[in-house]
Structure 1
Amino acid sequence: MSCPCCAAKVGSRRAEEIQHVVERVHAEGGSAALVTLTVRHRAGQRLAPLWDGITYAWSRVTSGRRYACEIAQFGITGWVAVVESPHGEAGWHPHRHVLVLFDTPMSQDMVTALAEGWWDRWSRALGRRGLDGIEHRGGLDVRVVRPDGSGGLGEYLSKIAHEVSGSPTKRGRRGSRTPFEILADFSATGNADDYDLWVEFEQAAQRRRTLTWGKGTRERYGLRREQSAQEIAEEDAGGDDLLGLPNETWQAVRDRAEALLAVAERDGLLGAQAWLTERGLPFTRVKARDRYDRAADAARAHHQRREARRRWRTLLGTDRAD
């Protein structure tokens, strides 16, 4: 889902479902923990093979007799996992957040013991794909989700769903940028490198699932059939026209996107138009099927032009542009 507005809608729906599950787990006397697994990366590595590697590694963690024994030993009732792909000086850094659900209260030590077993299988699986896990303590993060917000997590429970659902409004950490921050930066500056990064992410994400549920988890906690991102976007759109935001409007509202979406959900398309008009921000009406942000379309076109120029320079035997 590459349209920022549609992605925000989808992320909100996913977050609501995850929050429901977390609340239900604690209401039943169980517990939850967040385990983050990472892969060693370097500048210049393509995102797609890194993403494929961590997808394969997670499939090896959650299969086989050892995982079946862990389900019984630790009382695992399900999980939901998301892949995040920030980009920084060391290149793409895809990693997997896993919200693990248990039928009884779990201590930090107990969850860490489980996660260490996962880390061993994760690292071996990455090795079979020609990748490396980051050194043990640097590549494994474990946090028990406590309903009272203790244990240093503070406000974490209230935002756990957005953490796990990979909300497009989330900000990168320690000098990295999320894909939607990269797209926003391109909209603001026109930086060609940001164009290329966004296109690479978009192409990788379209062929892969960002969020996955463990088998039987949704049913266990009373959620209906999982809808695709497109189904959620179409349901929210209701088949009506959408609003297109030109560059200057997006720059003005990108830090207040949630407020605009809240107005749109409450008052519909006309309410969103009124909100923009009151602030003197231009917009256009576009058909519901045109779901990709204009900046994303421009990014693809620009990327194709750059690739064409590179091919011509190779044929001409020069690394200089015409």
Structure 2
Amino acid sequence: MSSSRTDQSGTENGVGGAAALGSIAKSSPTSLPKVEKAARAQRYQALSHSRGWLKPLAKKNPNKSYGWDLHRTQDCRYKRVGIGVTVQYDAKHQTAFYGDVATCGSVWACPVCATIIQNRRRPEVQQLVDWAYEQGYQVSMLTFTFPHKSFDRLKFMLNSQADAFTKLRKGNSWDLFRKRFGFVGLVRSLENTHGANGWHPHTHEIWVTKSLTPSSRGDFEQFVKRRWRMACIKAGLLDDSSKSQSFAFDLHAVDVRFDVSTSDYLVKQDNSRKWGVDREMTAQSAKVAPDGVTPTVHPHEFLIRRQEGDDARYREYVTGMHGKRQLYWSQGLKDLCGLKDVSDEEIAKEHAEKADLLAHLTDTQWNIVRGNDALAELLDAAEQGGWPAIRSLLQSLGHVFLEPDAHDPLFEINLSLFAPDQQI
């Protein structure tokens, strides 16, 4: 939340007051741990800051009432899409969230949606790994990268990377490899960080194959490394005439780990954290560099640290990653392990069928919350004490409540918005 408060106040008519006062949850909320609250507050602050940085990406559109097409993340958790913003509580995940607000579902641009999506995707990867071992398959994790320099443009690298992967998995040699090692399918996680050498796009992939003997594992690894080297040369990502570049490529470009599981500790860019394979595949936005090392950060960190040039880097990242999928599954692999295909946008909406309604905010109340950058703080209050805590927070922000007139017909009509078991 912002350290400064805007001095806003408002009065409610019978309708608005009834909407708020009539919202009582069926169960008592449980509060998130302090660390998780702090992280959520930081994500909401980053989302708030992104709105300004995304403005240069707006495009003129005379068909829009305001004449512009804004980036969808600018409306995320900000624009009302229903008759009024609701505050709801998901007992299963022990979190409060907003209903009837726009959600962008962008895992690249939005630090709030990205976390929700990644947390929901993690069990999918876990289910795949568990299923594979139950079927007697081999589960391996492969990481692919390539040389890059600080002046390399992100869009060029991403296009060349995609070209290299096409070349890696094409032709008779690849078909023979699939047959020999009983290749079932893969899940690819695209990740992009930024550091001293500029953009660092790379992938973590889970490959499901038949069980491999110790001798066949060596052949497996050597084929993949040779194949990726050839693909990167053809795609213009590796200059094989440079001895130093070739040496570094052979040393770092491919990492193969066999027999991975959801409990494996894969230490990558953050030596202070230990990641299971399911976290490694989904939780990109949580990685930072260890102390004493030149920072290698996820682009959402730009929105938090705000160093010179970070605004341009963030926009380059958002535009460069547009249309890319964070998690790609081989065709038919989800069906094999019993997973339903759900889009990022659907996950970001946080389906509320089983959630408890805590509050129905009026436009005045919502504007006060937005104006004070208090979205995360209101969710904290909702989880801590339900509607009474929400009301107390709104009052601390300068909102003035007027008790509704129970004889006002508008007040009585508004009560029909709530379920019969809710009380005033």
TM-score w.r.t. length of structure 2:
0.53
AA paired with 2:328? T
- Asked if structure 1 preserves the Cα contact closer than 8 Å seen for 2:142 and 2:254, the reply is yes
Give ranges in structure 1 of 5+ residues lacking alignment.
254-259, 284-322
> In the alignment, what sits opposite 1:234?
349
Q: 1:251-292 CA distances to partner (integer Å, 9 max, x unpaired)?
A: xx8xxxxxx9xx97xx9x943895996997999xxxxxxxxx
**Structure 2 residue 319 is matched with structure 1 residue 203:** yes
CA 1:153–1:123: 2 relative to 1, 3 Å: closer
CA 1:3–1:27: 2 relative to 1, 3 Å: same
Identical residues among aligned pairs (%): 24
CA distance in 1 between counterparts of 2:347 and 2:297 reads: 26
CA 1:67–1:198: 2 relative to 1, 3 Å: same
Deviation, 1:160, is 1.1
AA paired with 1:194? D
CA distance in 1 between counterparts of 2:110 and 2:352 reads: 13
Which of 268, 271, 276 aligns to 2:383? It is 271
CA 1:81–1:277: 2 relative to 1, 3 Å: same
CA 1:129–1:70: 2 relative to 1, 3 Å: closer
> In the alignment, what sits opposite 1:160?
277
Q: 1:203-233 CA distances to partner (integer Å, 9 max, x unpaired)?
A: 11113222211222212211122x3322221
Give ranges in structure 2 of 5+ residues lacking alignment.
1-105, 239-245, 268-272, 354-359, 398-424
CA distance in 1 between counterparts of 2:316 and 2:142 reads: 27
AA paired with 2:207? V
- Asked if structure 1 preserves the Cα contact closer than 8 Å seen for 2:139 and 2:259, the reply is yes
CA distance in 2 between counterparts of 1:129 and 1:158 reads: 31
Which of 108, 112, 117 aligns to 1:5? It is 112
**Structure 2 residue 326 is matched with structure 1 residue 219:** no
Which stretch of structure 1 is more off in the superposition, 167-176 or 138-147? 167-176
> In the alignment, what sits opposite 1:185?
305
CA 1:93–1:124: 2 relative to 1, 3 Å: same
Tell me which structure has the larger Cα radius of gyration: 2
Q: 1:36-66 CA distances to partner (integer Å, 9 max, x unpaired)?
A: 1111100121111111111121122222222
Q: What RMSD, in angstroms, separates the aligned Cα atoms of the two structures?
A: 3.9
How many matched pairs?
261
> In the alignment, what sits opposite 2:208?
101
CA distance in 2 between counterparts of 1:147 and 1:9 reads: 23
Which of 151, 154, 157 aligns to 1:47? It is 154
CA distance in 1 between counterparts of 2:249 and 2:196 reads: 19
Which of 212, 223, 248 aligns to 1:117? It is 223
TM-score w.r.t. length of structure 1:
0.68
Structure with greater helix share of residues: 1
> In the alignment, what sits opposite 2:252?
138
Which of 159, 176, 184 aligns to 2:296? It is 176
Aligned residue for 2:309, secondary structure, equals: helix
AA paired with 2:187? V
CA distance in 1 between counterparts of 2:372 and 2:150 reads: 30
CA distance in 1 between counterparts of 2:132 and 2:157 reads: 32
Q: 1:49-106 CA distances to partner (integer Å, 9 max, x unpaired)?
A: 1111111211222222222222221122111011211111111111111111123256
- Asked if structure 2 preserves the Cα contact closer than 8 Å seen for 1:83 and 1:97, the reply is yes
- Asked if structure 2 preserves the Cα contact closer than 8 Å seen for 1:37 and 1:97, the reply is yes
- Asked if structure 1 preserves the Cα contact closer than 8 Å seen for 2:117 and 2:344, the reply is yes
AA paired with 1:185? R
**Structure 2 residue 121 is matched with structure 1 residue 14:** yes
CA 1:47–1:249: 2 relative to 1, 3 Å: farther
Aligned residue for 1:141, secondary structure, equals: strand
Deviation, 1:28, is 2.0
CA distance in 1 between counterparts of 2:392 and 2:314 reads: 29
